[in-house]
């Protein structure tokens, strides 16, 4: 049986399209003004924003690829590419932050001329475009690492551009050249906190660690709460993608009756209470007899298979 889980990501196709278009336009604007006023800062930042376009395309492409139908060779399809994309996005963000921090430190020892009005205006445009793009992903970033990567990239750029505007105004009014690198380092520190969390979660997802949203002791307690369940073993929970969670477990029950209703309720509650969309449950009788059968439940809200018998 094939299952489709592309509906949630479909909601962000338009967001990605708008974000890519806005940022490509801004890259041309920033690079154009950079060459016009001979500003290396604007030209370099245009190159950085172009890398953000690539990150948006990476996240978008991974989400689309994850919707491809599973095959006999790839029985889970390409869902894992969303995790790979979020990991790559986190690494790219750290590299970008490292570059910004390095440039900020360098400017403490080699102050640059005060930011001109053109640079301030272009940076202000960057604040607007990057903030609008980040807002397109603000809801989804709470539940999807891939979306969170796109959100953090845009939020980082909005913060950097805002820092340029603030620093430029202060330098123009007060002549304090040191404010530019100081603001840049402050922004880097704030963004680094969110990026570090993205990197940590992406690595954990990549090695099939239990998602932070899942409380394993609570799942174990729930499974053991049924009167007919005497014991459980081989409980495993892991992320299939940045939005889907799978579970496998062996239940030891007190008799050898085949109760499909019990299993359906169990699967429904695992989905509703813990957000587990794919549950594979092997049932064993306490006398050592392994029950057989293959009931499958398919609803509009979720779909997965429950197996009884050999895994």
Grade residue 203 by pLDDT with cuts at 50, 70 and 90: very high
pLDDT in tens, 86-121: 888 888 888 888 887 887 788 778 776 655 677 788
d(CA 132, CA 152): 13
pTM attached to this predicted model = 0.72
So what's the pLDDT on residue 131?
Answer: 92
So what's the pLDDT on residue 283?
Answer: 85
The residues near 107 (Cβ < 8 Å, ≥ 6 apart) are 177, 180, 181, 184
pLDDT exceeds cutoff 60 at 4: no
How high is the mean pLDDT of the chain? 79
Which of 76-90, 163-177, 250-264, 287-301 shows the lowest mean pLDDT across its residues?
287-301
So what's the pLDDT on residue 145?
Answer: 82
pLDDT exceeds cutoff 70 at 264: yes
d(CA 198, CA 209): 14
The residue ranking higher by pLDDT, 111 or 240, is 240
| Contact criterion met (CB below 8 Å) for 159 and 190 | yes
| Contact criterion met (CB below 8 Å) for 114 and 175 | yes
Residue 267 is encoded by which pair of tokens?
């699967």
DSSP 289: P
So what's the pLDDT on residue 305?
Answer: 40
Q: Is the dihedral of CA 30, 44, 118, 55 positive or negative?
A: positive
């Amino acid at each position: 049986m094939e299952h489709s889980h592309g509906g949630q990501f479909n909601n962000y196709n338009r967001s990605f399209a708008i974000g890519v278009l806005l940022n490509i336009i801004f890259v041309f604007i920033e690079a154009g003004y950079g060459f016009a006023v001979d500003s290396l800062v604007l030209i370099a930042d245009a190159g950085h924003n172009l890398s953000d376009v690539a990150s948006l395309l990476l996240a978008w492409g991974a989400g689309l690829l994850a919707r491809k139908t599973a095959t006999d060779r790839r029985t889970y399809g390409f869902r894992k590419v969303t995790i790979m994309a979020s990991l790559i996005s986190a690494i790219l963000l750290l590299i970008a932050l490292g570059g910004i921090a390095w440039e900020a430190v360098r400017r403490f020892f080699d102050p640059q001329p005060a930011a001109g009005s053109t640079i301030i205006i272009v940076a202000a445009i960057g604040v607007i475009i990057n903030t609008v793009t980040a807002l397109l992903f603000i809801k989804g970033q709470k539940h999807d690492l891939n979306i969170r990567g796109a959100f953090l990239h845009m939020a980082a750029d909005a913060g950097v551009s805002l820092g340029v505007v603030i620093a430029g105004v202060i330098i123009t009014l007060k002549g304090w050249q040191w404010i530019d690198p100081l603001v840049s380092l402050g922004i880097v520190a704030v963004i680094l906190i969110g990026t570090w969390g993205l990197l940590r979660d992406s690595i954990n997802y990549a090695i099939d660690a239990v998602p932070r949203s899942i409380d394993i002791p609570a799942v174990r307690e729930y499974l053991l709460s049924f009167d007919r369940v005497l014991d459980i073993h081989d409980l495993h929970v892991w992320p299939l993608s940045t939005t889907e969670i799978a579970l496998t477990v062996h239940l030891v029950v007190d008799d050898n009756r085949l109760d499909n209703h019990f299993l359906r309720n169990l699967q429904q509650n695992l989905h509703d209470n813990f957000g587990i969309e794919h549950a594979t449950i092997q049932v064993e009788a306490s006398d050592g007899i392994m029950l057989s059968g293959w009931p499958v439940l398919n609803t509009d809200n979720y779909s997965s298979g429950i197996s009884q018998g050999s895994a």
